[in-house]
Chain A
Amino acid sequence: MNPTTLRFGIWMLATPLLIATIGLGFQGLAAVNSAMFFTWGYFVEVLIAGLLQGVLYSLVALGFVLIFKASGVFNFAQGSMVLFAALTLVGFIEMGLHWTLAFVVTAGVMVLLAMVIEKVVLRPLVNQPHIILFMATIGIFYFLDGFGQTLWGSDVKLLDIGIPKDPRFILEGIFEGGILVNSFDLVAALVGAALVAVLALFFQYTRVGRALRAVADDHQAALSVGIPLKTIWVIVWSVAGIVALVAGIMWGSKAGVQFSLALIAFKALPVLILGGFTSIPGAIVGGLIIGAGEQVAEVFVGPLVGGAIQDWFAYMLALVFLLFRPQGLFGERIIERI
């Protein structure tokens, strides 16, 4: 058996045990501390809510990973791409387009954006140190942020594409009263999972996927076998743009389309540090851990320390990872300082 499969197997076994241990710990704490409330049903409910929230983090992190893989650049503008995509989509829907049509048009806009970024920003900066490109993406962040709001206005907008939002109860046979799950989160999780599966297969088994990995490894060698760098960059930024669009739809439907969407990118940072900047599965697992971790910590540990753990838990976890495993769970090499 190859080591990757083996490691995967071990984690598949260890994770439920780890979660159960944490649950037991909370149960023990609750027994001696009256400020804490614990039942197993409630624990699982919080855990699931956290995991589903985590998928949304993963969606944003995925956009970062794609660009980092292909160009070694941390794309600061990913968050504003999410905002821009969501604003554009809402704009087209308000113009009277059906959301499916608006989706296709917006995807087209994101591809166009990728082409412009390649031509105006990346091409003149080819062969420059990564830090220069990183600074350029900060520029893209501010540009997109302002440009999107100039085009579509800065009001908070509602985005409703008909994803069911009613809560439902599952597993009523096992836990007393069942477990409350938001069906919107469920849909979001399914979409995220599908997107990840498609991307992973695409990267692994096609010529373009191979070319992307090749460019990520060595620009010069990639050029010498006839891989056109420009085309690859356009493809990567387009895919990242479309991933941003999907993330924008999910976050926009949940919280409204507004400026703060651009800031969820910062929640993706700890996800990346956990999962590793270069790994698609890492983005997923990292998102799940962060989502579940902060939710569980908020609900069960929060009352003991006065609450508001959710805001800093992710960064705290990332800090611990930076100390002990700076390349992340699935990362290939040490992360560059940014």
Chain B
Amino acid sequence: MSYGEKHIGETLLKVDNITLAFGGVKALSDISFEIRKHEILAIIGPNGAGKTSMLNVINGFYHPQQGRIEFRGVERRAMRPHLAARQGIARTFQNVALFKGMSTLDNIMTGRTLKMKSNIFQQAIYWGANQREEIAHREVVEKIIDFLEIEAIRKTPVGRLPYGLQKRVELARALAMEPDLLLLDEPMAGMNVEEKEDMCRFVLDVNDEFGTTIALIEHDMGVVMDISDRVVVLDYGRKLADGTPAVVRANQDVIDAYLGVSH
């Protein structure tokens, strides 16, 4: 582990003039920004600013009417979520989306789906190639479980876990995909101070140890200013500002958007 100066590399993902509308409502208009390799990018903005819509566009749940998205220098065509996953984009959801009936371990194992190769016939037989593969992937998953300190709840059905831990399991499942780009939708929402601190530590460690690029949506300004390298501010579907936390904090438009402005 190296806590040195970190090297933010070239552009990993570039969104260019994205416009997304639902009927007459423009959720995003003309948004452009980049996510660079190895950085932590925070997307902030008041409620309804279009932050989650932006993440949904990036991982293919929504299809923008206009604009281009480049991932690793290649322009993407109509994207589907499972194709985004295949290209190395993982995400978590604002309202935890876990497989509630399954154990923590099984939930995280689903993150390995794309890494597994045995076909359905081998799986039907189970023994042989399929079993070897399960064991190999189980090892990776156990490492992630250790990393996120959730050893004790391995076999617990996630539906029974407290909210904070569910969020952590969701992060674990995303990490199991060994993504290049990790999208976190309000990873700390509804957490107490301690849980927030833990989550911050995990986000920083993931970024540092695995070199994963992270784009996150967060409302807690303290957290945003502490952990992010760059901040993009959205308001009513438009981009207000883009820059280091210090620059964004000083931006008059941003201050107006958050505090209101007298007319």
Contacts and interface: CB of A to CB of B under 8 A. Distances in A.
Interface of A: 198, 201-202, 205-211, 213-214, 216-218, 220-229, 235, 332
Interface residues of B, number: 35
16 contacts: A201-B126, A205-B134, A206-B134, A207-B116, A207-B123, A213-B99, A214-B110, A217-B99, A220-B81, A222-B99, A223-B61, A223-B81, A225-B85, A226-B177, A227-B110, A228-B82
B59 interface: yes
A225 B110 contact: yes
A11 to B, nearest CB: 21
Contact of B126 (A206, A210, A224): A206
Contacts of A214: 99, 102, 110
Q: Ordered nearest first, which 8 A-B pairs have the shortest CB separation?
A: A226-B85, A221-B97, A223-B81, A217-B99, A206-B123, A226-B114, A228-B82, A214-B99
A213 B157 CA distance: 13
B227 interface: no
Interface stretch (B68-76, B86-94, B229-237): B86-94
B110 A223 contact: no
B116 A224 contact: no
B36 to A, nearest CB: 23
Interface string B75-117: 0000011100110001101000111111000100111111010
Interface in B141-163: none
A246 B81 CA distance: 36
B98 A211 contact: no
B250 interface: no
B17 interface: no
A206 B121 CA distance: 11
Contact of B97 (A209, A220, A226): A220
Interface string B36-66: 0000000000000000000000010100000
Contacts of B116: 207
**Residue of A198, A201, A208, A224 ringed by the most chain B CB atoms within 10 A:** A224
**Residue of A218, A220, A221, A222 ringed by the most chain B CB atoms within 10 A:** A221
B99 to A, nearest CB: 4
B118 interface: yes
